[in-house]
Each structure stands twice: as structure tokens, then as C-alpha cells.
A = this chain, B = another copy of it.
Amino acid sequence: MGIDPGLTRCGLSVVQAGRGREVLPVAVGVVRTPTGEELPDRLLRLSNAVNEWMDDYRPDVVAVERVFERGNVSTVIHTAHASGVLVLAAAQRGIPVHMYTPSEVKKAVSGNGRADKRQMTSMITRILGLSEPPKPADAADALALAVCHCWRAPLLARTAALLNSGGDPS
């Protein structure tokens, strides 16, 4: 499951890792909460929505975008509030959470840590064999996070195994 956290718009996606680099799309969507509502009500809506997705799709692992120190500080604070609630939902179910920065996702999916939105959407559409580009951007970002984790998971697993056996992962 890939999550692009946000309070006004939060992207959610579910994919299935196939053989090698094959990744199959399962579901994608955006949860919105009304900007006119108070923070507690908005966080409750978001928490209920992500818990419904987790009930429906029972993900093995969740990839979440790490909240980053960029842009408007008040937006960053809202996104961090939302992210806390989303990460908590996974933790309460014992689902492992992996966090990636936007540039890690771009690099993993397109090979370029500075790829723009158009390049990323086009890569995601091709990788997942979608008939049309996912919209809005938050949905595409949630799919990119999920693909990023599918492709990095085998490397992370090998690194962890080497570290556990006392070997050198480099």
C-alpha cells in the first residue's frame, strides 16, 4: 500500500508485486477532508478512511512519503498531522511502515531524483500498464510510493539479512 499523506487530499494506492520488476495495480484513490472543518474532525475522517482501505485490502506493508521541510510551513504542519494518523493506523495493525522522501521515490521509479510530475505520471502509467494516466497528482504519487517500495524491498531484505549475519551490505 502506498500513501501520499495530506489533510486536504491524501493519495492511497494498493499494488501487487509480481515477478522481477512486475507490479500490478489493485486500487487507487484520493481521500479528501473539507478545509472548513476543524482539525479533530478532519483527522477522524482521514483515520476512518485509511482504516477502511486497510480492512478491505489487508496490505502486507505500507510505504508512506516522509514529510519534508519544504514549502509553506503551515502546509507542512497539516501534512505532518495527517501523516501521524496514517502511520498510526498501520502501527496499530502491526503492518511494517517504510518511509521514503520524494526524491527517493523519483529516483527509484524514473532513475532521476529530480523528475517532474509529468515524467513521473508517464512512468507510473507505463510501469503499471494503465489505460490512462492516474489523476489527481496525489493518486499518482501514492502509486509511485508503492512501486518504489516493491522495487526496493528485495534490496532492503538482502541488506537486513547481511547485517543480521554480521556481513557487510556494501
Contact = CB atoms under 8 A, between A and B. Distances in A.
Contact of A47 (B69, B82, B88, B97): B88
Interface in A101-121: none
Interface in A76-97: 76-78, 80-85, 87-88, 90-92, 97
A90 to B, nearest CB: 6
A22 interface: no
A160 to B, nearest CB: 14
Interface stretch (A37-45, A135-143, A147-155): A37-45
28 contacts: A38-B97, A39-B99, A40-B97, A43-B84, A43-B87, A43-B88, A44-B88, A44-B91, A44-B92, A47-B88, A47-B92, A67-B77, A67-B80, A69-B73, A73-B76, A76-B77, A77-B80, A80-B80, A80-B81, A80-B84, A81-B83, A81-B84, A81-B87, A83-B84, A84-B84, A84-B85, A85-B85, A88-B88
Given A41-B91, A78-B80, A83-B84, 19 more contacts: A39-B99, A43-B84, A43-B87, A43-B88, A43-B91, A44-B92, A47-B88, A67-B77, A69-B73, A69-B77, A76-B76, A77-B77, A77-B80, A80-B84, A81-B81, A81-B83, A82-B84, A84-B84, A84-B88
